[in-house]
Amino acid sequence: MKLSKLITCGFVLAILFACDNNENISDETLIEVEAKAPSYIDLGSTTRSIRVKNSNTLLSKPKSPNAAQTYKVELLMAEYITAEGTGEMGNTVFFKNVGNKQLEGDFVPGLDLDGTTDISYYVDDNRPSADLAAADSHNAIDRAMSTWDDITCSDLGIFEVPYDGSDTGFIAAIFNPFVDEDLGGSFEYISDVMHGGWLQAAFFDLLTEEGDGSQFILGATFTIVFTDNNGDLIDLDKNGKFDVAWREVYYNDTFEWKDGSRFDVETIALHESGHGLSQAHFGTAFLSGGNEVLHFSPRAVMNAAYSGVQTSILQTDNAGHCSNWSSWPKN
Ligand SMILES: [Ca+2]
Ligand SMILES: [Ca+2]
Ligand SMILES: [Zn+2]
């Protein structure tokens, strides 16, 4: 090994492993991959009025207990995770031109469309992957939601809205005019975190400026936020984050999905549900010479690329979750 390479390796490995012996990649040059700046995709106006029953929020009081309330919402952003061998790293895409104010979103107590500060989720079995029975994917997503619910610093009371066969997906409905196939969907609120199922390449291609997103995006979580009558986004609790109405998760059926091995549904569902619960990507990525494989330091569920089956929460995931949720619903 040349001295220069030795120095480079030693330096990078010192960051990565604090000089631990690492037999697997110690002989490779690791190059830090800089996170890309968020991109902006123009889908035109995504603002829609939605009608929600049984919701009593700070924005709308029902005249009678069961009266439907009207809210204005729109698509703010998406975060996507990539397959590890593609050399591409996950990124954030904005659909609302917010200039330099690229703020993220967060749930607000008192703006609960399901009428409770507990976190509801739904799994739409209408869009299964080509590779697994809908029940197997559904169970994997249930396990992922339970894993987040089991974190002891928070009390989210995560509960499932039972699948009822209805045509769900605000995001699917928003993207429908831009693709040839019918994505289904409806401009409706179903739950705080909605797992909308598996979609084809054309949908994921729309998530990158180059139109090639389906080649490396495994899954994406979309943040839908409240907007006022002027079309301005709301930050009712003034915490510097746009107020989230709900989030939707979609999985890329271009890849082969598995239950327990690459690409593992529970692993990606755990990552996407982390976004569903307002966590951003975490960890510095390194590319090892020659094989386009990304390594992360520290390893976390919220790393921006898939790097093997990971169905438990790691330290930084736990810390990020707790800083966001430990005082919920008192913010
Ligand atoms: Ca809720
Ligand atoms: Ca806010
Ligand atoms: Zn992600």
Q: What is the pLDDT of residues 139-159, one digit of tens each?
A: 999 999 999 999 999 999 999
How far does residue 121's CA lie from ligand 1's centre (Å)?
A: 9
How far does residue 38's CA lie from ligand 2's centre (Å)?
A: 20
Please give the single-letter amino acid code of residue 39: S
| Proximal ligand: closest to the CA of 55 | 1
pLDDT tier for residue 330 given thresholds of 50, 70 and 90: confident
Q: Write out the residues surrounding ion ligand 2, Cβ under 5 A.
A: 235, 237, 239, 241, 243
How far does residue 147's CA lie from ligand 2's centre (Å)?
A: 26
| Proximal ligand: closest to the CA of 245 | 1
Structure tokens at 268: 């990606």
CA distances from 321 to 156, 271, 327 (A): 11, 12, 11
Share of the chain above pLDDT 90, in %: 75
215 and 86 in contact (C-beta within 8 Å)? yes
How far does residue 223's CA lie from ligand 3's centre (Å)?
A: 12
Q: Is the pLDDT of residue 27 over 50?
A: no
pLDDT tier for residue 331 given thresholds of 50, 70 and 90: low
User: For residue 22, what pLDDT is reported?
Assistant: 40
Cis peptide bond upstream of 263, omega within 30 = yes
Q: Is the pLDDT of residue 15 over 50?
A: no
pLDDT tens per residue, range 258-277: 999 999 999 999 999 999 99
pLDDT tier for residue 13 given thresholds of 50, 70 and 90: very low
| Proximal ligand: closest to the CA of 238 | 2
| Proximal ligand: closest to the CA of 82 | 3
How far does residue 119's CA lie from ligand 1's centre (Å)?
A: 4
| Proximal ligand: closest to the CA of 272 | 3
How far does residue 327's CA lie from ligand 3's centre (Å)?
A: 24
User: β-strands 159-160, 120-123: how paired?
Assistant: parallel
| Proximal ligand: closest to the CA of 118 | 1
How far does residue 325's CA lie from ligand 2's centre (Å)?
A: 14
Mean pLDDT taken over the chain: 89
User: For residue 103, what pLDDT is reported?
Assistant: 76
Q: Which of 5-14, 19-28, 155-164, 314-323 has the lowest mean pLDDT?
A: 5-14
- Between CA 77 and CA 38 the distance in angstroms is 10
Cis peptide bond upstream of 329, omega within 30 = yes
| Proximal ligand: closest to the CA of 105 | 2
* Highest-scoring range by mean pLDDT, 3-7, 84-88, 187-191: 187-191
Q: Which of 87-91, 102-106, 240-244 has the lowest mean pLDDT?
A: 102-106
User: For residue 60, what pLDDT is reported?
Assistant: 84
| Proximal ligand: closest to the CA of 235 | 2
| Proximal ligand: closest to the CA of 247 | 1
First to last CA, the chain: 55
How far does residue 234's CA lie from ligand 2's centre (Å)?
A: 7
- Between CA 194 and CA 288 the distance in angstroms is 36
| Proximal ligand: closest to the CA of 225 | 2
pLDDT tier for residue 96 given thresholds of 50, 70 and 90: confident
CB neighbourhood size of 206 (10 A): 17
User: For residue 31, what pLDDT is reported?
Assistant: 86
How far does residue 206's CA lie from ligand 2's centre (Å)?
A: 28
Q: Is the pLDDT of residue 313 over 90?
A: yes
User: For residue 67, what pLDDT is reported?
Assistant: 86
Structure tokens at 290: 């020659």
User: For residue 3, what pLDDT is reported?
Assistant: 38
Pick the CATH number of 34-325 from 3.30.565.10, 3.40.50.880, 3.40.390.10, 3.30.465.10: 3.40.390.10
Q: Is the pLDDT of residue 173 over 90?
A: yes
